[in-house]
Amino acid sequence: MLSAVEISLLRGLIYDEAYTRRVLPYVKEEYFETSVGRLAFEICKKHFSDYGECPDTDALKVAVESVEGVSAEEFTELGRVLDEITTSTSVNTDWLIDTAEKWCKDRAIHIALMDVITIADGSDTTRGRDAIPQVLTEALAVGFDAHVGHDYLEDYSERYDFYHLKEERTSFGLDYFDKITKGGIPDKTLNIALAGTGVGKSLFMCAFAANVLMQGKNVLYITLEMAEERIAERIDANLLNTPIQDITEIPRPMFETKMQSLQRKTQGRLYIKEYPTASAHAGHFDALLKELQLKKAFRPDIIFVDYLNICTSARYRVGSNVNSYTVVKAIAEELRGMAVTYNVPVVSATQTTRSGFDSSDVSLTDTSESFGLPATADLMFALISNDELDQMGQIMVKQLKNRYNDPTIHKKFVVGIDRAKMRLYDVDQHAQDDIIEESPTFSYNDTKPKLQKKSFDFDYD
C-alpha cells in the first residue's frame, strides 16, 4: 500500500513536466517502501528518459502489461496504483517539489539508519564501522539543488557583484602572511604548513591560534600529537608574555589575574580537544563540532588540526591494505570537505621528506607520504630553519601553492620567532630585502637586522 506522499509524487511524474524535470534526478528507486511503488516509479522514469516527456495513460497501461517477474498480487496492486495516479488533480508545483524533497530526505535518513544497524551488528560483511559516518553524511546531504551552473553571458551582473564582494578572511596578524593571502585565509579552505621535525609546525599553529583568539574569534584546536594541557601551555606562553619554562613558576593569584585580564580583552573562545594519535578522522571532528554547538553553544571561526598526517581517514579502515598516498590524500579531502560544510578555514601541517629536512629551498616534492596533499590544499607554505636563522631569531617562509594570490609575489620572506614564548612576529623590512630570490640559498648583511616584535603585552590591573 503506497502512502499519500508516494501517490502524489508518482502523479506529478505523469501530469507535471516541470516538476518531473526538477525531482527525477534526485528520487531513488529504493526510497519507495514497496515493490509496487518501485515498479511504478521505474516505469515513469524509463518513459521520461526514453522520450523526454511524461507518460500518458495509454503508455502506462502498455508498460504495466509488459511487466514480468511479478506475482499476481503485485500485478493487481500495480493496476490499482495506476488507476489512482492517473486521476488528474490540480496541485501547486512548488508545494509538490518541497513535499518530494522532504520525503526523499526522510527516506534517505531512514535507510541510512537501517544500514548503520546492519554495519554495527556485523550483518554487513562488506563495510566496517568506520563507514558509518560516511553513510550518515551522505544521507544528510540529500536535497534538491536548483542551481545548474553559471551562465557566463546572462549572469554577468552576479559575477560583477562577486568580484566586488568583501570576502570574510582570518588574518594571520603577520604582515607578509596577510600580503600573500590578500588579508588572510578565506572560509571553506585547507591551509597547510610544511616543515621538518622540530622546525615549528605546532609553534606556528599555536601562535596563529592565539592571534585569532585575540581578534575576538572562536578557535577550535584539535591535537593528535600533544596533550590538551601542553597546547594550552604554549598558548599561555604566547599570550601571557612568559617563557614556557617559567609558566609553572607563576603564582596562582597572578596567573588568575592575567587570565581574567585576557577574558576582558577578547570576545573569542578557544577549545582544545585531544585525540589519541592515528585514531580520529573528519567524522569524529564532525561529531565534536555538533557536541560543542549543542552543549556549549560554541561554533568555531577557524579549526586547527595538529597535524594532518597522524589523522585517519573516514573512508579507509585502519590497517587496511591502502597506500599512504591514497590515505593522506583522502584525509586532506575530508578536512577540506569539513571546512566547506562548516564554512570555516582549516589549518594543519605536514612533515617534509628526509631530503627536505635539511634543505634550504624546500619544494612541493618534499612533502612526505603523499603528493595528493598539496593537490588538495588551497594554501601551502614551507617553514625553513637553520643555524644562521636560529641565531637571528628568524624563520623563513616559502610559498609552495597559493590559490588566493600570485605565489611568485613575496615567494620567500622571513618572520621573527621567539621559541621560548611561542611567538611569531614581523621583522624589519631590511631583513626581507636581504633575501636573494634567485638562489636556492639566502644571505644576510653582516649587521644583524633590527627586529620589531609585535607584542600582546597587556596592562594587568
Say how far residue 435 (Cα) sits from the centre of its chain. 35
Q: For the chain, what are the domain ranges?
A: 4-107, 169-433
Sign of CA dihedral 355, 361, 365, 366: positive
**What distances in angstroms separate CA 144 from CA 27, 92, 137, 201, one per listed residue?**
9, 17, 16, 42
| Burial profile 284-315: b = 16 or more Cβ within 10 angstroms, e = fewer | bbbebbeebeeeeebebbbbbbbbbbbbbbbb
Among the listed ranges 34-38, 74-78, 431-435, which one has the minimum average pLDDT value? 431-435
pLDDT at 233 over 90: yes
Q: What is the CATH number of domain 169-433?
A: 3.40.50.300
- The class (CATH top level) of 4-107 is mainly alpha
Band of the pLDDT at 454, cuts 50, 70, 90? very low
pLDDT band, residue 396 (cuts 50/70/90): very high
Q: What is the pLDDT of residue 356?
A: 67
- Report the interhelical angle of 324-342 vs 282-296 (nearest 10°): 30
Least confident of 71-75, 321-325, 412-416: 321-325
Angle formed at CA 97 by CA 95 and CA 98, multiple of 5 degrees: 65
- What pLDDT score does 91 carry? 72
- Once rounded to an integer, what is the mean pLDDT over residues 11-36? 89
Question: Which one of 70-84, 152-166, 399-413 scores highest in mean pLDDT?
Answer: 399-413
Given this chain, do its domains 4-107 and 169-433 carry the same CATH topology?
Answer: no
Confidence (pLDDT) at 146: 62
Scored b (16 or more CB within 10 A) or e, 82-94 reads beebbeeeeeeee
Torsion of the alpha carbons at 119, 121, 126 and 127, rounded to the nearest 10: 40
Those residues whose C-beta lies under 8 Å from the C-beta of residue 3, and which sit 6 or more positions away, are 33
Q: Cell digits for 188?
A: 571553506
Residue 181 is given by DSSP the state T
399: phi then psi, degrees, rounded to nearest 5: -70, 135
For residue 134, the model assigns a pLDDT of: 83
The confidence band for 240, taking pLDDT boundaries of 50, 70 and 90, is very high
| Rg, C-alpha atoms of the chain | 29
Phi first, then psi: give them for residue 416, nearest 5 degrees: -75, 150
Higher pLDDT, 448 or 82: 82
pLDDT-derived band at 442 (thresholds 50, 70, 90) equals very low
The pLDDT of residue 357:
64
- Report the percentage of the chain scoring pLDDT > 70: 91
pLDDT surpasses 60 at 443: no
Q: Which of 242-251, 285-294, 321-330 has the lowest mean pLDDT?
A: 321-330
- What does each C-alpha distance from 253 to 260, 301, 409, 435 come to in angstroms? 11, 31, 48, 46
pLDDT tens-digit map of 325-338:
888 999 999 999 99
pLDDT in tens, 167-220: 789 999 999 999 999 999 999 999 999 998 888 899 999 999 999 999 999 999
SS3 444: coil
Q: Taking 50 as the threshold, does the pLDDT of residue 444 lie above it?
A: no
Q: Residue 310 in contact with residue 321, Cβ under 8 Å?
A: no
* Higher pLDDT pick, 433 / 244: 244
Q: What is the pLDDT of residues 255-265, one digit of tens each?
A: 999 999 999 99
Most confidently predicted of 81-85, 343-347, 439-443: 343-347
* Structure confidence at residue 69 as a pLDDT band (50, 70, 90): confident
Report which residue type is found at 394: Q
pLDDT of residue 460: 45
Mean pLDDT across the chain: 86
Q: On the CB side of 285, how many CA atoms lie within 13 Å of its CA?
A: 30
Is the Cα torsion angle 167, 172, 173, 179 positive or negative in sign? Answer: negative
